[in-house]
Amino acid sequence: MKMESAISQQTLLLVLFAVGFAGNSNTAWAIKMDQALLTVHNELQSSIRVSFISDHCYKCLYQPLVILPDGHSNASVTVSTRFTLTLTVETDIGNSTPCRWNQLYGESGHYSVWIQPSGYPDNITCIQIVTKDPINSYLPLLAAAAVLLLLAVLYVSAPYLYRWLQKSKCIAVCCRSAPYPLDSGDATNCSGDIHQTKPKSSRLKSLDTFRGPDA
């Protein structure tokens, strides 16, 4: 129980140290697009070698990522965020591979991996911590799509909106209780529209036929 409590306290201290380290290294690394920052901490008494392979590559060999000497050492590298990566940690102790994991890293995210002994002989643990959350790489695309959709809606609805405004204006002018001014263009247009649309009475048509053409 005491050994497990000591390991938990050590892990907590590593987390706090990783957060402080990431806050101090934000300005030191300029991360490009489709990249993330990975910091490897070696707490073993032997050197380690971290290698990686992309799941997008079929039957490819592991590529070296970083090599750290023994003791309390660390190094930071950038990794791709386009595809899932498989990473392995190899030590000089018996040429073993104590850790292997798959990870799809987020763009502009900061990650820390701690390789440390767990208190038992030849037993090694690897703890990965997210020290800075990645950004949403699809957010600019969603914003551009929303702007284009808004412009399309305005373009389609503009003629209908213009007709509705003109119709509302015409109705407001025609429904006034006061007589139309002679120089009112709106009143002339509205009254003209009303006279043009009013059908001629059939009685007047028959009366004109009965009278015949004027001499």
More confident residue, 86 or 194: 86
Weakest-pLDDT range from 12-16, 63-67, 206-210: 12-16
Which of 137, 158, 182 lies at the terminal end of a domain, its last residue?
Answer: 137
Alpha carbon 64 to its chain's center: 31
195 and 161 housed in the same domain: yes
127 and 184 housed in the same domain: no
Overall number of domains in the chain = 2
Q: What is the CATH number of the domain that holds 57?
A: 2.60.40
76 and 19 housed in the same domain: yes
Is residue 173 within 8 A of residue 187, CB to CB? The reply is yes
100 and 152 housed in the same domain: no
129 and 48 housed in the same domain: yes
Strands, E assignment, the chain = 35-42, 48-54, 63-68, 73-80, 85-91, 99-103, 110-117, 124-132
Task: List b or e across 48-67, with b for residues whose CB sees 16 or more CB atoms inside 10 angstroms.
Answer: bbbbbbeeeeeeeeeeebbe
pLDDT tens figures, 139-181: 778 888 899 999 999 888 888 888 888 888 787 777 765 454 5
Q: Which residues contact 71 (CB under 8 A, 6 or more apart)?
A: 42, 45
Range of the domain at 52: 2-137
pLDDT tens figures, 21-35: 444 444 456 788 889
DSSP letters along 96-128, please? ---EEEEE-PPTT-EEEEEEEE-SSTT-EEEEE
Query: How confident is the model at residue 97, as a pLDDT?
Result: 77
Confidence category of residue 215, pLDDT binned at 50, 70, 90: very low
- Say how far apart CA 170 and CA 164 lie, in whole Å: 10
68 and 128 housed in the same domain: yes
13 and 81 housed in the same domain: yes
Which pair of structure tokens corresponds to residue 148?
A: 């284009």
**Rounded-to-10 torsion of CA 110, 25, 12, 47:** 90
